[in-house]
Amino acid sequence: MAEAPARAGAGRQLVSGVAPGLLSACDALVGPVLLAALEQRFTDGLRPPGEAQAFVHPNGFVKLPLARTEDGATRLFLHVWRADSVDGDVHDHRWPFASVVLRGELSHTLTDVTVGSTSAGRGEGAGDRDGDWDGDWGGTEQLAASLPVARYHLRGGRHRFDVSHRERAVVGGHSTHVLSAGRRYGMAECTFHRAHALAGAMTFVARGLPRRSYSRVLLDDGARPREAQRWRPLDAEERRRHLLDALKVLG
């Protein structure tokens, strides 16, 4: 029988491993940050974002940097999910984050993944695993059932997929969480997931400091390493329209 998606708020909250400060930022800063970004006036512990350019992410959502906290520990974003916004691959991030759904609905499917290297050495765990890895894949059967892992990071001004570390992932169970307007959630940096959103969904995101220099993406076995897609920049009018729309949602 197929697993019934869990609705956050009706069951367990999707906030495991997230620092309380990121969650509280979603509660307290949404309105002030959106207004500060619109008017370009940053006070009360807020500073302009380090990288202010808004983009359309390759996965189909608008990523709009809003501000950062005075101590630099938290970066704040608005995400606007367009038609057919879906993550192309299961992935994790290099930083923890918390988010609140301002409008619409989205879902996150969390996947239990353990990453290890096919060469000598130790690997990294993710999801519910403790991270211990002895380099033993348990024979060719387990290795054949694993998926290649790419490290996704910035090099030479471009995002790239790097498979040179010869890492592979054993994939276990998964759970899907559906989040509607008003719900907050978050993930640790090592949580593998895949998102899907209804067109027009809008989320406010509080992002913590990076814990490493790359994120990880699970690839289809046998697929050629891909080139990262370019991020389309938004002009000033598009940016302003999204900010006004978000403030209207807040009332």
More confident residue, 65 or 154: 65
Model confidence pLDDT, tens digit, residues 226-247: 565 667 899 999 999 999 999 9
Please report, for the domain that includes residue 86, its CATH number.
2.60.120.10
The answer, yes or no, to whether residue 120 has pLDDT greater than 60, is no
SS3 242: helix
State the average pLDDT for the chain: 82
Give the pLDDT confidence score for residue 134 in this predicted structure: 39
Q: How many domains does the chain have?
A: 1
Q: Which residue has the higher pLDDT, 72 or 230?
A: 72
**pLDDT over 90 at 100, yes or no:** yes
Task: Establish if 81 belongs to a structural domain.
Answer: yes
Asked whether residue 84 is domain-assigned, the answer is yes
pLDDT band, residue 133 (cuts 50/70/90): very low
Nearest of 143, 152, 153 to residue 114 by alpha carbon: 143
Question: What's the average model confidence in pLDDT over 163-170?
Answer: 90
Residue 25's alpha-carbon distances to 30, 33, 40, 105, 187, in angstroms, are 8, 10, 19, 20, 14
**pLDDT for 207-216, tens place per residue?**
999 999 999 9
Question: What's the pLDDT score for residue 130?
Answer: 32
Burial (CB < 10 A; 0-12, 13-18, 19+), residue 71, is exposed
Mean pLDDT of 132-159: 64
What's the pLDDT band for 110 if we cut at 50, 70, 90?
A: very high
Rounded to an integer, the average pLDDT of 89-103 is 95
Higher pLDDT among residues 93 and 12, named by residue? 93
Q: What percent of the chain has pLDDT over 90?
A: 56
Sign for the CA dihedral angle at 190, 176, 73, 36 comes to: positive
Q: What residues make up the domain containing 218? A: 6-250
Is residue 65 a part of any domain in this protein?
A: yes
* Domain assignment present for 1: no
Q: Is position 105 within any domain?
A: yes
Asked which of 40-49, 139-148, 162-171, 240-249 is least confident by mean pLDDT, the reply is 139-148
- Which residues are CB-contacts of 108 (< 8 A; sequence separation ≥ 6)? 14, 176, 177, 179, 185, 187, 193, 194, 195
Is 190 among the domain residues?
A: yes
**86 domain-assigned:** yes
**pLDDT score of 93 more than 70:** yes
pLDDT band at 142 (very low <50, low <70, confident <90, very high): low
Q: Domain for residue 163, yes or no?
A: yes
Note the pTM of the prediction, 2 decimals.
0.83
Rounded percentage of the chain residues whose pLDDT exceeds 70 = 76
Cβ atoms of 215 and 3 within 8 Å: the answer is no
